[in-house]
Amino acid sequence: MQLTSNTHLCYSMNVFPEKDWLAENSEIRKKVLSLRRKVTGSDSAKFAIGLWFDAETACEFRRKAKLQEFKKWLSDNNLYVFTFNAFPYGNFHGRPVKKKVYLPDWTTKERLKYTCMIADILAELLPEGITGSISTLPGAYMANIKSDNQIAKVAANLLAATRYLSKIYGKTGKKIILGIEPEPDCFWETPFEFIGFYRKYFFSWPREKKYLGICYDTCHQEVLMTEPGKGLKKLLAHKIPIAKFQLSAALKAPDRASKKALAKFADEVYLHQTRVLEKDWTISKYPDLPKALASADKSRPWTVHYHVPIFTTNLPGGLLTAKKELEEILKTAGDTSNFEIETYTFSVLPDKMKELGVINSMKKEYEWVKKAMAAK
């Protein structure tokens, strides 16, 4: 939905397990229309959606007739698309995902091909006059990068992707920015780490660097316990594009008692990287919540990579919603036009937190964000 002349807000559709976008009366299409009705109070208001297609679905949409039919459905229902999540390549719901979400990574041609397919689809769907965005994984899972040769492959594939986006702009006049999404335990955990790579490999490419930037996920930065908003300030100072902001909150366990409640969040589907602030003010890293629960100091504050609904504050068992990064970003965001709410973990939340139902929960997240943005 358009909030100002240069600000667009949507919700990432990766919250839904369904992928049957091409079916005329599919469940996911019904859910989109239901969400629009809840959020706007109208069956016809102009409304944006953030898309996620896995590689298989993206291949289906390469058939021109299928893409045109989908484009017509969007138009007939006054829906529009300005951003894609191209981070998960394959299955993202129901079955264990964990570290597989980072495969294939940016050392591979498969990741490049998939991203270019998504770019072609977005170029067809993107309305005139709006800068589009595609979010993608931060290079690779850190443990999978073992040599300078792999880093060079990441750079070469990202350069090829930006050149592809430049060609799309030349053909269509539609600008799409590829947004690297820093995440705990990945090759780029923070915007600061990405800045060094960008300056080394892209600073001398004036055309290509316009098409590579950051997808700033507020949950990810919250988990790392960095100073709120500091990463954004550095990016702006180095004139690195912000492709989009992904608006999300993390999970915080402040004391020993709250750690008991965390056990309900240790699902078998997603990876929940955990950080522990130790007594000497160092930060210990745990690759997943079960490992932290088994061995970390439960008397110290923890933050967990778990996207919880952003309107929540106090959670069962003394847990808290960690969103200082989110609040700071909404106060200080610059000229970025793309904002996307992302709470893909709704299906694995403890039952008590799902009582509202997914659509009503999404509605409340929209309300929270719009109120926060209006107040800045």
Residue 5 has pLDDT above 90, yes or no: no
Residue 49: is its pLDDT beyond 80?
A: yes
In angstroms, rounded to a whole number, what is the distance separating the alpha carbons of residues 116 and 122?
10
The pLDDT of residue 336: 77
Structure tokens at 49: 């959606």
Is the Cβ–Cβ distance between 40 and 2 less than 8 Å? Answer: no
Residue 44: how many CB atoms within 10 A of its CB?
10
Could you give the angle at the alpha carbon of 83 between the alpha carbons of 79 and 88, nearest 5°?
120
Residues 9-23 pLDDT 10s: 999 999 999 999 988
pLDDT per residue as tens digits for the range 248-265: 999 999 999 999 999 999
Beta partners for residue 2, in sequence order: 8
The pLDDT of residue 4 is 85
Separation between Cα atoms, residue 6 and residue 323, nearest integer Å: 24
Distance from C-alpha of 338 to C-alpha of 100, rounded to nearest angstrom: 27
pLDDT at 261: 94
Residues 161 and 112 sit within 8 Å (Cβ to Cβ): yes
Confidence (pLDDT) at 111: 99
pLDDT tens for 83-107 read 999 999 999 998 999 999 999 999 9
Mean predicted lDDT score pLDDT of the chain: 96
- Poorest-pLDDT segment among 118-122, 206-210, 355-359: 206-210
**Percent of the chain beyond pLDDT 90?**
91
**Does residue 376 surpass a pLDDT of 90?**
no
253: its two tokens: 């366990």
What domains are there in the chain, each with its CATH number?
2-248+324-375 (3.20.20.150)
- Among residues 337, 287, 232, the alpha carbon closest in space to that of 4 is found at 337
Angstrom distances, CA of residue 42 to CA of 35, 78, 245, 369: 10, 11, 26, 19
Encode pLDDT of 262-304 as tens digits. 999 999 999 999 999 999 999 999 999 999 999 999 999 999 9
**Residue 56: what pLDDT?**
96
pLDDT tens, position by position, 107-151:
999 999 999 999 999 999 999 999 999 999 999 999 999 999 999
Residue 319's pLDDT band, with cuts at 50, 70 and 90, is very high
Q: 335 pLDDT exceeds 90?
A: no
Say how far apart CA 283 and CA 362 lie, in whole Å: 33
Tokens of 104: 């294939």
